[in-house]
Amino acid sequence: MTIEKVGIVGAGQMGNGIAHVFALADYEVLMTDINQDALNAAIALIERNLDRQVSKNLITASQKTEAMKRIGTTPTLTDLGKTDLIIEAATERETIKTAIFEDLVPHLKQDTILTSNTSSISITRLASRTDRPEKFMGFHFMNPVPIMQLVELIRGIATDEPTFKACHAVVERLGKTSATAEDFPAFIVNRILMPMINEAIYTLYEGVGSVQSIDTSLKLGANHPMGPLELADFIGLDTCLAIMNVLHDGLADTKYRPCPLLTKYVEAGWLGRKSERGFYDYRSGTPVPTR
């Protein structure tokens, strides 16, 4: 399978980062979103991030210019049907992802590979709603995509070997490292990371420590680059809650029960950095703990 044209569904935090790294790796990229403003903002952000890489001598100015030329946008989802590989990077809700794939299927080339950047949802179940479960995989990038080196590759029960090899080759061309995960809830990274974050929230909820003391303890006591509550704000508390619910529902184990405080923050709309309030308040420009 030759992959040269890549379609990306979603121009948000993950989608624009995925477009960035594919364009730098000489792929032709077509990005779609239901919101034209989101597409415009994504292009502007990609350009700023590429400029940052130029300033750090990570890429040349000509590489930046050529990468920007390779990225196209469209508000029409079905325009992606002409691409060789599609990466869905929409909101972490199964109903939304399923609807996207069902809309795409009638417009795809026969050999187009479908993938999802989902961080937790069953690849087998998503694949079963398409006409090509054997050409469907999980393609999970870490955030921020241009910086993080890992990509989780997740096979569904029907994924065939040529599809896996094609996606593995793409990861190598991107200059990243792949880890192969089985199709169980939250795969590898989030199966381990999210319960840690959830336990940190329980530690806050039970009054064992404050936001600042918990984050300081993990940064200095476990050598983590970010504290777990700071990291939760960066990821998005709604995303953390969604993944914990997938783990709890999918594995039926009470150890994955989302902390009530996490649920409360999401109900309040305090989702972290993207809403300017979470475990920290970012509205003043300097993060201030909210508890």
- 182 assigned ligand-binding residue: no
Cα radius of gyration (the chain): 19
* The one catalytic residue among 122, 152, 178, 230: 152
Residue 140 annotated as catalytic? yes
Q: Taking the alpha carbons of 208, 210, 214, 217 in that order, is the dihedral positive or negative?
A: negative
Residues 85 and 3 sit within 8 Å (Cβ to Cβ): yes
Catalytic, out of 16, 116, 119, 178: 119
With residues binned 3-state (H G I as helix, E B as strand, rest as coil), the percentages for the chain, rounded to 5, are 50, 15, 35
Cβ neighbours around 222 below 10 Å, total: 10
Say whether 285 counts as a known binding-site residue. Answer: no
Active site residue 40: no
- The answer to whether 15 is annotated as binding is yes
Annotated binding residue at 1?
Answer: no
What residues are paired with 151 via a beta bridge?
141, 178
Binding site annotation covers 5?
Answer: no
- Which one from 16, 117, 190, 198 is the annotated catalytic residue? 190
> Which is it for strands 71-74 and 136-141: parallel, antiparallel or unpaired?
unpaired
Q: Residue 119 catalytic?
A: yes
Spatial distance between the Cα atoms of 110 and 27, rounded to a whole number of angstroms: 20
Is 25 assigned to a binding site? no
62 Cβ contact list (under 8 Å, min separation 6): none
13 annotated as ligand-binding: yes
Kindly report the backbone phi and psi dihedral angles of residue 254, in degrees, each rounded to the nearest multiple of 5, phi listed first: -65, -15
Neighbours of 108 (CB within 10 A): 22
| Amino acid type, 220 | L
The verdict on whether omega for the bond into residue 144 sits within 30 degrees of 0, i.e. cis, is: yes
Count of helices and strands (H, E) across the chain = 11, 10
Cα(286)–Cα(75) distance, rounded to whole angstroms? 36
12 assigned ligand-binding residue: yes
Q: What angle do CA 244, 246, 252 make, to 5 degrees?
A: 95
Binding annotation: 10-15, 33, 92, 97, 119, 143, 274
Binding annotation for NAD(+): 10-15, 33, 92, 97, 119, 143, 274
Q: Which residues are part of the catalytic machinery?
A: 119, 140, 152, 190
